[in-house]
Amino acid sequence: MIAIKDLHKHYGSVHALDGLDMTVEPGTIFGFLGPNGSGKTTTLRILTGLAQATSGKAQVAGVDVSSDGKALSRRIGYLPEEPAFYPWMTPREFLDYLGRLHGLSPVERSRRIDDLLALVHLAEVSKRRIGGFSRGMRQRLGMAAALVHKPDVLLLDEPVSALDPVGRKEVLDLIEALSGECTVLMSSHILADVERVCTHVGIIARGRMVVQSQREALLEQYAQPLFLAEAETSSSAARWAESLRGLPWIASVDLQDEKIRITVREIRLARQELLRSAVAHNVTLLRYEETRPSLEDVFMRLVEEKQ
């Protein structure tokens, strides 16, 4: 559904995109990750036709993004980080206005608006003015607006970054519910949210794709085994952490007060030796567990390698 090949975008001497390659398969929820300034928003602006690439090719649903704006607008829905509305309108009026812009008949608009208001849980406030809505309500309305014309591809730029926990959950639930109905490209820096809802992940750094893969395959390939521990005192934690650093089967030791995060290279040896080491250094542990590395662990490792 999305095919990007050797995409470049230059702003003078700044290379926002520097040969980006990316493919997004139909029906997936694709998490588009990268540090600030990596080129995520620039990529989305090019895919929506709001910006022109310096060179390279990009297609969405078979449409060249630089050649046919009308065909592209029929295929995509776009939710910017801060969607804008006419505050004096009601949700129903706003969605009806967008439906008319997309050429939907009165019967189609009425049916589609009812379905969307139910989907985004705004049916009960459909006659209230948008100007009085909370940020979470506006974000959900933005989702409905992007879906009015049943696009093949939904492009989301940081859809939950400014929301409180309740609002974030509501919007993430909506995104998850779209699985299989349309292809979703979700740009975000909240890695836990991407890990929760996305089926595939692409990590971009300095305008280039570092890696893209199915989420579980990415975690299995790049995540190193991880142990979390909490000592009774910060002094004993520091003493034990120092003794672990430099051991050949230890990849890294991160210390924060009494909490220790231990990444290992050899999982079997770590299972045998870590607790023995704690006992040998007279460390009383309040917590000790082997845990699955997160997408954040993989992200930090891969991005740091590209710095």
Q: For 257-290, b where at least 16 C-beta lie within 10 A, e where not — what string?
A: ebbbbbbbeeeeebeebbeebbeeeebebeeeee
C-alpha–C-alpha distance, residues 97 and 109, integer Å:
9
pLDDT tens column, 33-72: 888 888 999 999 999 999 999 999 999 999 999 887 889 9
Give dist(CA 278, CA 229) in Å, integer: 10
Q: Once rounded to an integer, what is the mean pLDDT over residues 133-150?
A: 92
- Please tell me the predicted confidence (pLDDT) of residue 106: 94
Residue ranges and CATH numbers for the domains of the chain are 2-218 (3.40.50.300), 224-291 (3.30.70.100)
What is the model's pLDDT at position 305?
63
Q: pLDDT tens digit string along 189-239?
A: 778 888 889 999 998 988 999 889 888 877 777 667 889 999 999 999 999
Per-residue pLDDT, 180: 78
Please give the residue that has the higher pLDDT: either 179 or 287: 287
Closest CA to 264 of 254, 249, 278, 245: 249
Q: How many residues does the chain have?
A: 307
Do the beta carbons of residue 153 and residue 117 sit within 8 Å? Answer: no
pLDDT above 90 coverage of the chain, percent: 64
Encode pLDDT of 111-120 as tens digits. 999 999 998 9
3: pLDDT strictly greater than 70: yes
- Cα 94 to Cα 36, 58, 155: the distances in Å are 33, 31, 20
Q: Is the pLDDT of residue 300 over 80?
A: no
**In terms of Cα–Cα distance, which of 209, 194, 210 is closest to 28?**
194
Q: Work out the mean pLDDT of the chain and round it to a whole number.
A: 90
8 A C-beta contact, residue 154 and residue 77: yes
Q: What is the identity of the amino acid at 128?
A: R
Any residues with CB less than 8 A from the CB of 242 and at least 6 apart, and which? none
Task: Give CA–CA dist 200/192, Å, rounded.
Answer: 14
Average pLDDT over residues 147-153: 95
pLDDT over 60 at 307, yes or no = no
Closest of 262, 200, 201, 195 to residue 228, by C-alpha: 262
Pull the structure tokens for residue 167: 């609002």
Nearest to 202 by CA among 24, 9, 15: 24
What pLDDT score was predicted for residue 296? Answer: 74
CA distances from 47 to 30, 69, 72, 135 (A): 14, 11, 9, 26
**Residue environment code for 22-56, b if the CB has 16+ CB neighbours within 10 A, otherwise e:** bebeeebbbbbbbbeebbbbbbbbbbbbeeebeeb
Evaluate if residue 252 carries a pLDDT over 80: yes
Instruction: Please identify which residue in the block is written with the tokens 């023995």.
Output: 276
Among candidates 302, 90, 77, 89, which has minimal Cα distance to 203? 302
pLDDT digits (tens, 9 = 90+) for 7-20: 999 998 889 999 99
Instruction: Quote the longest CA-to-CA distance of the chain.
Output: 76
